[in-house]
Structure 1
């Protein structure tokens, strides 16, 4: 569901107008030791767990859920759906597809749905497994073979307000998984 804001009376109007066409890139190192261990013990894949964690954080904070409806009106989504990259089975490391899984708070239900969507996207043979992507979506990608301390996109400022997360590779340092 999308709730349109009364822009003329919105307390953040001045701030929004000033920073509307700004792109902010923030890189943080995250200790995923506990999550990594739980996934290993439970035979779970880390990527769906990271997608779930991101979706839980994004959906828990209204500041991440601002957006525009099809008429271009500013508002607040009640829930955002993560869409994420999945390597294709055919095409080598160069090709990927994008899948979306509706966020639900229950980890097991989300993980099961995410794994089904990933499996289907791996073999779909095109960029978008679901076309179009949900308008209440936010992006996630992963570069598993690379760890980095900064990243940004060059190019045009995106027209939506949704966050985009990029995970790097997980590596061990001093007994911690970072």
Structure 2
């Protein structure tokens, strides 16, 4: 459900400035230490990509500024945002963008995500899964490149308010497994403070991964 924001929105002046006067999006790359998480996933024989998607999606639900949007010219936020993500057709080397309904329960989301990936893995269509929801944010994966900076140039930057994530290739630094993630947001709805909150919670989820991974029974 979309919740419209009233006139008391504290960032009203900021929104107007960065939406109409100085249109501005920005991006940054964070390095995530996934050493412990990766070891547990390997032990449990879990696929890494669905877990990455779950982490990004769960953190999005935590920060309202990452769910802000305009619907029919009204500013507000979605109560839930579902992840849309890219998958590669290994035969044609083309990618598709599919989506999975968000569920905070990791076990349920993981199973649904893996099923969606298997269903559409051989598709040659860009958007093979029907009924794509409006309340959705985008994730791309570049598992071949361990980038340190990343930027998207989208012609709809001036009006597209939802965050965009790009996941890079693991790299090993001083015995730690590091995952680079690019985050692109619109300054009209999201300041550096909000990105900081998002990253802090994302790192907390990774550090406390046993708490939510235990919901999945692989037996």
One fold, TM greater than 0.5? yes
Alignment partner of 1:28 out of 22, 27, 30: 30
Alignment partner of 1:67 is 2:69: yes
Structure-1 separation of matches of 2:24 and 2:108: 36
Alignment match, 2:50: 48
Tell me how far 1:68 sits from its aligned partner.
Answer: 1.8
Deviations 1:51-95 (Å, cap 9, x if unpaired)?
A: 0000011111111010122x2311110011010000014312xx0
How far off its partner does 1:11 sit? 2.1
1:146-165 matched pairs, under 5 angstroms: 146-158=145-157, 159-165=159-165
**Contact between 1:22 and 1:157, CA under 8 Å: does it hold in 2?**
no
Q: Partners of 1:44 and 1:9 in 2: how far apart?
A: 45
In the alignment, the residues of structure 2 paired with residue 121 and residue 25 of structure 1 have an alpha-carbon distance, to the nearest angstrom, of 30
Unaligned runs of 5+ in 1: none
User: Which aligned pairs between 1:95-106 and structure 2 lie closer than 5 A?
Assistant: 95-106=94-105
Distance in 1, Cα, partners of 2:36 & 2:75: 38
Distance 1:54 1:9 in 2: 29
Query: What runs of 5+ residues in structure 2 fail to find an aligned partner?
Result: 179-219
Alignment deviations for residues 24-56 of structure 1 (CA, whole Å, 9 cap, x no partner): 101111111122111101100111100000001
- The list of structure 1 runs, each at least 4 consecutive aligned residues, that deviate by more than 4 angstroms after superposition, is none
Cα deviation digits, residues 104-128 of structure 1 (max 9, x gap): 1111110000001111221232000
Q: Secondary structure at the match of 2:40?
A: helix
Give the alignment's Cα RMSD to 1 decimal.
1.4
Determine if contact 1:23/1:157 at 8 Å carries over to the other structure. Answer: no
**After the TM superposition, which of the residue ranges 29-38 and 42-51 deviates more from structure 2?**
29-38
1:82·1:137 contact (CA, 8 Å) conserved in 2? yes
Secondary structure of the corresponding residue to residue 25 of structure 1: strand
Count of matched residue pairs: 174
Partner of 2:174: 174
The structure with the largest strand share of the pair is 2
Report deviation, 1:132. Answer: 5.3
TM-score (norm 2): 0.75
What TM-score does the superposition give when structure 1 sets the normalisation length? 0.92
Label 1:155 to 1:125 Cα distance change in 2 as closer, same or farther (>3 A): closer
Cα drift, residue 157 of structure 1? 4.1
